[in-house]
Structure 1
């Protein structure tokens, strides 16, 4: 897989004075062209690789690079020791056994810092999964898309939109983002940056044409702003209810429908709440789940909708009991 191969290239170059693209291709069982793309990718992310021509030419790391880790402080190394969720590592082509990389990082530290760093490692674990893991959506073209991102090659995809229509797109891929195990491709199309969910990409092909990345594009900054803009575009449906205080704790337990809430007044045994949903239907379904613990104050149309839903439920079971 791509990420593991890039790591193997760095390790091999650290342990060798110089290696040709042909030697690396043979050792890693890929084509010379793939190795050249990998070298471009390493260079783009700041790894100082360079090539020398001639009879004894080949690829090398800038002298002294392999020793630079020795100057990292233990607190700086924390970010490197925090591994992501196993599924994220799997998607990136990094096997679970790649945890040994942390051992290599530890060995690169001054001896006095190793014990302190191990304390961090043994006491912090980051799990970005959910309590109930759901089935992973198929992403058969992940490797192709990842290669295009690293090599600045244009990408042709077939994408299934929300309308379930399949569309062909030619993109300039800028980066990949994972959110709750869902991967998104950030790419330029027709001069605009857009987001594409990888599970909706049913075909992907790297094109020969390359492109120039936007000079000031920062993936993290773009994604955070994209999230903010998306939330602002979501529809709002406001409801006011009175809820029994014994049920207040359920507001923060798996809030599937509620997007926002605030307690306006505590009335002793009950509280007055302002709730925000995305639609009236979400509000109705959420309220029905509380039985008589929630009383609707406004709007009236929600009262009517809940009453009608309750009547249908009663009618259903009365009919079955006959």
Structure 2
């Protein structure tokens, strides 16, 4: 497979610039000695590759050496590099093939289009983690928001929270994430990063004002951290509920819910159900919506939050 290794070395040097022999050896899983032999072979075959010794040295190609790829527009490049390796392809053992293909495409891009490739992964994520989600329509303002993200613009949104409460906010449009069949906006608010589901937005207007994007902001790392902080794993938020038999049929058909196990209780009037919700907020809102027909048992955080919401509601109507 030496030919594959030589091609991969060339692509790495084209897309990522100078590398030390040690770094290349680690990435290509060969010895440093083999790397130097490969460099010599490429040089003999006419590839303009050379080495620099000493501190700051390494192996590199002559500047601007690349295979030209023409015919792609900037928007087409953005669309291509928005793709992650699909989970199904990984399961089939084809993840490395896809990554190599994208590396070849990246290497062939002319310099005029490389900025589009570099910007995609800091602004857009297609998160393919699955749950049994409903078929929600994309909001009408999604395309406008997409442009705002690319142009580092602020947006004015009308947000609707639980119980119909609405408030207007100005957000810095950092990035968009598609997870399941839902879209999320990662935004800057008062020097903090926050995540909003686009379903919470009643309206959205793109402002002329631009914001200064944090240079060290990593959208993928932030998204994973945000998911972890809310206990959202492969399928979402897991909990255990008691569901009354007369509402169980409606409950099990809810969108965004995946039942893992269920057991009919001895009194035959309730089911003990273990299940995944899309997220914590979805679990809380669903349980509250069923009133006393559904009781949250675990985790304690969900039970406590539902109790707090119930107390607030009772206080509101008692006054």
TM-score range, shorter chain: 0.3 to 0.5
TM-score by length of 1: 0.36
- Higher radius of gyration, 1 or 2: 1
TM-score by length of 2: 0.37
